[in-house]
Amino acid sequence: MISQIAMLVDITKCIRCNRCQNACKTINKLPEGIEETLSATAYTAIEKFDNIGVRRLCQHCEHPACASACPVGAITKMPEGPVVYDEHKCMGCRYCMQACPFDVPHFQWNSMNPRIQKCWFCYDYLKAGEQPACVTACPTKVTKLGERDQLIQEAYERIKAQPEKYVNRVFGVEEVGGTSVLYLSAVPFEQIGFKNCLQKEPLPELTWNALSKIPSVVSVGGVLLCGIWWITNRRDEVQRAESPPDSKRSGKD
């Protein structure tokens, strides 16, 4: 069984130097310049809340809603953990943007050949045994890469060792079925822009519950439409059969 790779982001260590974003932009050949929110040209960003810097990126959910919503399989949860995107399969429907509970995927609205843009966890580097660019670029070790279960254990150990420093919660352990990006914070997460209304159940389960009803609806709808067509067609046939033939033609008896 392949170990699930994850990131542990310790918000208390962030000094807002933005080196993670610079490294990400360089490796992905994105336009230079500091961006404080995720966008089609920023796969990671440092959002500011007073004197707190919160690093944002794709959460790489354990059960990604974006992947379940994609009708062409352009988004895939890899065995190692990353959620990757294949632009060659994408048809531009943007369902992934609607499905993501973290508002991560962004669309290239200004491009003549638009694609979805998001963090891909530097998946090729992971496969080569290397770390993502953002991890190696951080001078204060805000982000740590490792096996998900071990990082969760380490996160709770940090909380136990310094309860005065951290809130007693590791964001990403249970939210929407769990994510591959985990967070530690000194303040309640809802105070620094994290959604506090996320359920614990994976969102694709809700998607499936809804989509599973579609065959029945389509079947019933199809039968109904066929019935309407038959009735209408049969009515026309009866009307033609009951109408007397027109034996009189112009100029003839």
CATH assignment at residue 41? 3.30.70.20
Do residue 114 and residue 215 come from a single domain?
Answer: no
Question: How many domains are contained in the chain?
Answer: 2
Looking at the structure, tell me whether residues 213 and 190 fall in a common domain.
no
Residue 249 inside a domain? The answer is no
* Contact predicate 70/91, CB 8 Å: no
182 occurs within a structural domain = yes
Residue 252, in any domain of the structure: no
Residue 253 within a domain: no
Same domain, 234 and 160: no
Whether residue 168 lies inside any domain: the answer is yes
Please indicate, yes or no, whether residues 115 and 41 belong to a single structural domain of this protein.
yes
For residue 43, with 0-12 CB atoms within 10 Å meaning exposed, 13-18 middle and 19 or more buried, which class applies?
buried
47: which 2 tokens?
């959002």
233 and 120 housed in the same domain: no
Helix (H, G, I), strand (E, B) or coil at 219: helix
Q: So what's the pLDDT on residue 250?
A: 45
The verdict on residue 50 lying in a domain is: yes
Surface-to-core class of residue 253, CB atoms within 10 Å of its CB (0-12 exposed, 13-18 middle, 19+ buried): exposed
Decide if 247 is inside a domain.
no
What parts of the chain have a pLDDT lower than 70?
1-2, 205-253
Q: Taking Cα atoms as reference points, which of 136, 147, 24 lies closest to residue 81? A: 147
- The 10 Å CB-count burial string (b at 16+, else e) for 141-164 is ebbbbbebeebbebbbebbeeeee
**Are 124 and 222 contained in the same domain?**
no
- Note whether 129 and 111 are same-domain residues: yes
Determine the pLDDT at residue 197: 87
Distance (Å, rounded) from C-alpha 16 to C-alpha 120?
22
Q: Supply the range of the domain harboring residue 117.
A: 5-201
Nearest to 6 by CA among 82, 64, 107: 82
Radius of gyration (C-alpha) of the chain in whole angstroms: 27
In this structure, is residue 190 part of a structural domain?
yes
Tell me: do 72 and 167 sit in the same domain.
Answer: yes
Tell me, yes or no, whether 140 and 226 share the same domain: no
- What is the per-residue pLDDT for 180? 97
User: 192 and 215 share a domain?
Assistant: no
Nearest in space to 152 (alpha carbons), one of 175, 177, 130, 184: 184
Do 234 and 135 belong to one domain?
no
